[in-house]
């Protein structure tokens, strides 16, 4: 809240910035990490190609749906996500739905 109030973070400006810039700006803030920034891009800004690699539910769902036997590590999940470009956000939502429906 302080960053918004003192002008260090302009939420309106984030709507016109590319994904990498938004993530960089958000992660400058204490307590905001890559996962939070990715989920902000996905859920608030509704960006079409977000794949939050650090999300445990996503990793578990991918392992189950793809019958991997083990939950993929971050680097493996990144590679798996490439097949869903440029609509990784839709794939994320579907995997989350699977996770919540189990």
Locate 72 and state its tokens.
């993929």
Domain count, the chain: 2
Residue 88 lies in a domain: yes
CB–CB of 13/3 below 8 Å?
Answer: no
Looking at residue 2, its pLDDT comes to 87
CB–CB of 37/18 below 8 Å?
Answer: no
pLDDT tens column, 58-102 = 999 999 999 999 999 999 999 999 999 999 999 999 999 999 999
pTM, rounded to two decimals:
0.92
CA–chain centroid gap for 57, Å, is 12
pLDDT at 1 over 80: no
**CA–CA gap between residue 17 and residue 14 (Å, rounded):** 5
pLDDT tens column, 10-40 = 999 999 999 999 999 999 999 999 999 999 9
Domain around 79: 56-101
Residue 51 lies in a domain: no
At residue 7 the predicted structure's pLDDT band, cuts being 50, 70 and 90, is confident
Looking at the structure, do residues 38 and 71 belong to the same domain, yes or no? no
Burial class (CB in 10 A: 0-12, 13-18, 19+), 102: exposed
CATH code of residue 39: 1.10.340.30
- Taking CA 76 as the corner, what is the angle to CA 27 and CA 17, rounded to the nearest 5 degrees? 30
Residue 39 lies in a domain: yes
């Amino acid at each position: 809240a302080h960053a918004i109030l003192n002008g260090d973070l302009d939420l309106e400006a984030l709507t016109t910035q590319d994904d990498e810039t938004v993530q960089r700006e958000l992660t400058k803030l204490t307590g905001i990490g890559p996962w939070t920034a990715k989920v902000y891009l996905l859920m608030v800004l509704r960006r079409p190609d977000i794949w939050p690699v650090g999300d445990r539910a996503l990793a578990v769902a991918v392992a189950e749906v793809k019958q991997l036997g083990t939950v993929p590590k971050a680097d493996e999940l990144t590679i798996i996500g490439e097949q869903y470009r440029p609509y990784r956000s839709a794939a994320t939502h579907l995997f989350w739905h699977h996770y919540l429906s189990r």
